[in-house]
Copies of this chain bind each other. A is one copy, B any other.
Amino acid sequence: MRMTAASEYSCLALLSIAESGSEWCKRQEITERFDVPTPFLEQILRKLVAARLIVSRRGSDGGFKLARPASVITIAEVMRAVDGALAPVRSVSENFYQPSPVEASPGFHTLFRRVRDAVADILENTTLEDVVEQEKRIRTRSRKSAAAARRNPARSRSTREQA
């Protein structure tokens, strides 16, 4: 019930690219920031280009940019482009249907359909922009709490959790 490393990396790559804004984001920026094996990242970026989520430019000032604003790229699209179906079993997939054993059981079929819908509901309604915003908020918050911790170490979260 899990996604592949490739789709994890693709998320991180898109984060870097999104944060680069109108600048061309180089592969190297991504591999350095997130420690992704370079040639593996190549493949992943290829898929993202093929899926028209990003565009690329070669040359000394080349790199990658989002093909459309982050606000209209859903994470569901990303996952589908890289991993395929969102559904736990192929037989309940909307976009990648294939027969599978659970079809023999209406009860389980319904259940897994609900799971698929729950996952899809989240990922369809979360855009890359949402994630970038969330990312900013959390980074700001942790800078603040780090500052607070320096002022008063006794009350800080990490100190408490040592206990």
Whether A54 is near chain B, meaning CB under 8 Å from some CB there, is: no
* CB atoms of A101 and B138 under 8 A apart: no
Among B1, B36, B88, the residue within 8 A (CB) of A101 is B36
* CB atoms of B115 and A123 under 8 A apart: yes
Measured between beta carbons, the chain B residues less than 8 angstroms from A15 are: 105, 107-108
Among B75, B90, B114, the residue within 8 A (CB) of A2 is B90
- Kindly supply a per-residue 1/0 record for chain A positions 76-113, scoring 1 wherever the CB is within 8 Å of any chain B CB and 0 otherwise: 00010001111111100000000011101111101100
Q: Report copies per complex.
A: 2
The number of residues on chain A lying at the interface, defined by a beta carbon within 8 Å of a beta carbon of chain B, is 50
Q: Which of A56-64, A128-136, A153-161 contacts B (4 or more CB under 8 A)?
A: A128-136
* CB atoms of A134 and B122 under 8 A apart: no
Whether A119 is near chain B, meaning CB under 8 Å from some CB there, is: yes
Top 9 A-B residue pairs of the complex, sorted by shortest distance between their CB atoms: A107-B135, A106-B138, A107-B131, A107-B134, A118-B118, A8-B101, A3-B88, A1-B3, A11-B108
Q: Which residues of A contact B (CB under 8 A)?
A: 1-3, 5, 7-9, 11-12, 15, 33-36, 75, 79, 83-90, 100-102, 104-108, 110-111, 114-115, 118-119, 121-123, 126, 131-135, 138-139, 142
- 17 extra A-B contacts, CB within 8 A, seeds A1-B3, A11-B102, A12-B104: A1-B1, A1-B79, A2-B88, A2-B89, A3-B88, A8-B101, A12-B101, A36-B101, A105-B135, A107-B131, A107-B132, A107-B135, A110-B138, A111-B122, A111-B134, A115-B119, A118-B118
